[in-house]
Chains A and B, each alone.
Chain A
């Protein structure tokens, strides 16, 4: 029986090539998109699940309520670690202090080797004590966690050991120097962690090393300062609930934090590491955070695409049903009951869906290597796995039911007498309004995606070209260290740099104008008590303003100094202080922490202190040379690469012990928005696909309509209708349907995209233009789709078309 069904299905497929192609193309694209999205989402959800204690590990995070609102930070003060261990003896508490952009120098018998043996480790460098490895499970190839109880010890992953020493077996006992200050002995080797982890360890130095060198990494026993680099993780025993620990943490927070600073309300609580990969408030140590709304949006898009493909199928099959009425009539007369007919139609649908799924797998296989360009994937995913196969089976089943059920209900319901007499017409079998409804739904979905795409793309363009308030073009940023030996060399380094042709200006500073760094402090203004919000700091020499083209709205820049002497503030601070006229700020005094009062000499026009997702922060700029670690070099744009080469040479001359790492300011700013950029690309792809699938369906319907209307067109032409009249006849209905779809799509898209835009502090407003563009685009595309078939029908010779009757 089934063989017979499949045989007919196959012959039908061959016979109606165009429709089969349209159906299979739509379904295959839909299934392939779903499959790829499924793989990406599953991968994102798999982060750190390989940890055997995944469900019992919690990150201790801090909620900091102040007058500005609530700040969330992933870190805790250093002394909290020992306090946790004392107050929570039943819990294993591991800690990790991470470093970014540290330099590792591979030593040869205690001496630095050739200059290529210096490495800048952007991430993966951290300090841990043995308990961390009781909380998290890592595989030791050599050594064990106890080595981290001793000072000046480091453990490397296999990959790092091979990078530094060639063969990890020879690494044990060798030494590396960290940031040119601390020498560490390699005491253990870890096997490489999987790629889907937010704890991408590379080098793990013993925590006691850091404690023993408090000045190097600012280790402090002060309860008042919190760094996001110091993070604490708790492994709860089997039967202890997070709620009970949270209750204790509340008491703990009151006891320790209120005492140190009663003006702030700080609270520690447990945050499951299952959330680690998704919570943008806390971030993670890996290379990206994927917000849950992004995952939901992607799943939603996947569902939309597959529904659209199913709609095509339903539309085409019900339209084609008339052509099959004879077959159904005959089968009924030959004794088939309705159930058997439904069975037959469903197996035909299943056949087409299975063929489409096979094509989809091929598409997915071809696309997979390019996937990493649009989503953050640290490794290539494998297509052929059991879970993907299962997902494909589920998709096949669901799609078969969604697309096959309604058409088979329609077909199997034919009255045999009517069916055999060919008395069935589009109107008698009904479903026209349903088909129209489906077309409307389909176009509504694609218009939503089109609007979303236009908005997302314009927002990204807006950000890319936004006036940050400073000049980011052709500025090379070199990251160094702010130890006294480095700072001492800065003056002559600057002189040499300025002598290089193409260098316009050079400035040393703690930070670039726009970055993800937040260095803040409490402060007082104009001899008033301390303000309730923090003031953010960027220190730079007197060329800072000139190098970045910052604009002064009042006063002047500060004079040459090595310590904070005169200061600049930004307009945001001025506004917060309630000052209307910038001139009124000049001469006022400001006090940072417990330091002496300093005079404000100028007000800078606001520039974006952080990413455009955040608002501009109140800021102070002043000289303070002992913290300068960043060198910013403004270049002439005509010969960048030559200048850059000379700069590198000069760097290596002045700082032979430091690896050179130069990057352009505009590139690092672009990196802020990587996630949004990727999302915008994804939107573009999916909106294109959605439009394409809707057009496939439309094309199918119009081809069908052209056949149906052959006679009508013939008669009309005999009666004197022009080609234009006929084309109008065809496009009228679809234009109306698309217009209706627009009224559904416009408000929905507006709502969704307004939400998305609210992630940005600086954003475009959604204008009428976006919607106009969306509807014009979809009507235009629909017309092009309809046009060909309509034109063909319109120019056909009426004598010929009438003779077929």
Chain B
């Protein structure tokens, strides 16, 4: 599904280059549940952002589902990304001004889905995540675990093939973390969603089928 070839990223700092990623070659197959691990500053998040097409490498090739991402035009890339990828963040990143319901609905607006269909889809997912009772609350009225639940619900509502999660349990206690990881496992097993997560925790990584270790911008 994802093929990264010779991906590097650096920032120019005067004459010196600060490398974040060096010559990464990586393949993620459909249906995998991969965990990227490594110490702080090893380039985990950057790698995830590049896979998610919200960040660009300094060099290298990326093909997603056989399409060469960097040769696509901005618009086609955005279409591709919109269709297939869902993001989950450590800090949840819900829109504070919107209710739970509206937060979950937002991606559907950008997918130009009709109002009645939107209603059905949001109702369905609220039900599935057992957060129907919370739908009119604002993010600040929820606990961290609940917010992340909403964040995941928002990521999966468009039925993406790939979920990219950046330390999804980083701000949660261990019990909340377990629930989230269980949810990911179910999504992976039952719905066949490909998941790539960045994590510090061995325990969380053990939920997945594969571990990718990063050190100083290289795959160890």
Contact = CB atoms under 8 A, between A and B. Distances in A.
Interface of A: 1, 4, 7-8, 11-12, 15, 326-327, 329-337, 340, 416-417, 420
Nearest to A7: B102
B87 interface: yes
A12 B82 CA distance: 27
Q: Give the 4 A-B CB pairs with smallest separation, nearest first.
A: A335-B82, A335-B110, A334-B107, A11-B97
Contacts of B17: none
B72 to A, nearest CB: 14
Interface stretch (B23-31, B35-43, B88-96, B200-208): B88-96
B81 A335 contact: yes
Contact of A337 (B54, B75, B91, B93): B75
Contacts of B81: 335
Given A4-B106, A327-B96, A417-B55, 9 more contacts: A11-B97, A326-B95, A326-B96, A331-B95, A333-B54, A335-B78, A335-B81, A335-B111, A337-B75
B109 A4 contact: yes
Contacts of B218: none
Contacts of B75: 337
Nearest to B92: A330
- Interface size classification for chain B: 20 to 34
Nearest to A3: B115
A11 B105 CA distance: 17
16 contacts: A1-B109, A4-B109, A8-B97, A15-B97, A326-B93, A327-B97, A331-B106, A333-B52, A334-B87, A334-B107, A336-B110, A337-B75, A337-B78, A337-B110, A340-B110, A416-B54
Interface of B: 49, 52, 54-55, 75, 78, 81-82, 87, 89, 91, 93-98, 102, 105-107, 109-111, 154, 158
Contacts of B158: 335
B154 to A, nearest CB: 7
A332 B97 contact: no
A11 B103 CA distance: 14
A335 B95 contact: no
Contacts of B78: 335, 337
Contacts of A334: 87, 106-107, 110, 154
A4 B111 CA distance: 14
Contact of A8 (B54, B98, B107): B98
B142 to A, nearest CB: 16
B20 to A, nearest CB: 12
Contacts of A417: 49, 54-55
A8 B109 CA distance: 14
Given A334-B154, A417-B49, A327 B54 contact: no
A430 to B, nearest CB: 19
Nearest to A327: B95
A12 B91 CA distance: 21
A393 B32 CA distance: 56
Contacts of B154: 334
A244 to B, nearest CB: 63
Nearest to A422: B91
Contacts of A335: 78, 81-82, 107, 110-111, 158
A336 to B, nearest CB: 5
Contacts of A8: 95, 97-98
Contacts of A337: 75, 78, 110
Given A335-B81, A417-B55, A329 B106 contact: no
A4 B102 CA distance: 8
B97 A12 contact: yes
Nearest to B103: A330
Given A1-B109, A331-B106, A335-B81, A420 B93 contact: yes
A332 B78 CA distance: 10
Nearest to A326: B93
A336 B94 CA distance: 15
B95 A330 contact: yes
A333 B87 contact: yes
Contacts of A420: 89, 91, 93
A11 B97 CA distance: 6
A334 B93 CA distance: 11
Contacts of A15: 97
Contacts of A332: 54
Contacts of B109: 1, 4
Contacts of B97: 8, 11-12, 15, 327
A329 B93 contact: yes
A11 B96 CA distance: 10
Contacts of A12: 97
Nearest to B111: A335
A331 B93 CA distance: 10
A417 B55 CA distance: 7
Nearest to A339: B75
Of A7, A15, A417, which is in contact with the most chain B CB atoms at under 10 Å from its CB? A417
Contacts of B52: 333
Contacts of B87: 333-334
Contacts of B54: 332-333, 416-417
Contacts of B110: 331, 334-337, 340
Contacts of B107: 334-335
A1 B114 CA distance: 10
Q: B75, B87, B94, B109: which has the most chain A beta carbons within 10 Å?
A: B109
Contacts of A11: 97-98
A492 B46 CA distance: 109
A327 B95 CA distance: 6
A669 B60 CA distance: 87
A249 B82 CA distance: 78
A608 B131 CA distance: 88
A653 to B, nearest CB: 83
B141 to A, nearest CB: 14
Contacts of B93: 326, 329-330, 333, 420
B64 to A, nearest CB: 15
A509 to B, nearest CB: 78
Contacts of B94: 330
B65 to A, nearest CB: 17
B69 to A, nearest CB: 16
Q: Which of A331, A335, A337 has the most CB of B within 10 A?
A: A335
A12 B98 CA distance: 10
A434 B86 CA distance: 37
B22 to A, nearest CB: 19
B191 to A, nearest CB: 19
Nearest to B109: A1
A655 B41 CA distance: 107
A8 B110 CA distance: 16
A268 to B, nearest CB: 70
Contacts of B49: 417
A326 B97 CA distance: 11
A1 B111 CA distance: 11
B197 to A, nearest CB: 16
A15 B102 CA distance: 17
B149 to A, nearest CB: 16
A15 B89 CA distance: 25
